[in-house]
Amino acid sequence: MSRLLWTWGGTFFGFRRGDRLFTHGVVEAGRFHGDEIYGSDGYYLGEIRNERRLITKLTKKSRRRSSFEPSRLIGIASYVGYVGYVMYVGYEDFPDPEAFA
């Protein structure tokens, strides 16, 4: 089962399938380790908050896990964005899905 996800700023990002995060262009952007997401190079990308929003905690950006070769799936239609949330101190918005193209 997949869960649709948006960035903290309200941009539709894509979806989670198991422990994998895919963009709406269906490029594997990262892998979940609990609520944290790590990119194909193994570095921390961000985390999931409020069940469907992605955000990056600045003090965690140097964290690292094992790297992986990203996979691709068949594309899906992009959903409409939402109104963004007020940014927390010490955080920034999750990378745009186009950064993983």
Average pLDDT, the chain: 92
Closest to 7 (Cα-Cα) out of 99, 74, 73, 76? 99
Tokens 């186009």: give the residue: 98
pLDDT tens-digit readout, 30-76: 999 999 999 999 999 999 999 999 999 999 999 999 999 998 886 66
Sequence ranges of the domains in the chain: 2-100
- Give me 22's structure tokens: 């895919």
Contacts of 28 (CB under 8 A, 6+ apart): 20, 21, 22, 40, 68, 70, 71, 72
Task: Quote the CA–CA distance of 2 and 62 in Å, as a whole number.
Answer: 28
Predicted local confidence at residue 1, as pLDDT: 52
Query: Which tokens in the block code for residue 65?
Result: 């896990």
**Predicted confidence (pLDDT) per residue in 15-34, tens digit:** 999 999 999 888 999 999 99
Q: Please tell me the predicted confidence (pLDDT) of residue 72.
A: 85
| Residue 10 scores a pLDDT above 80 | yes
CA distance 50 to 62: 24
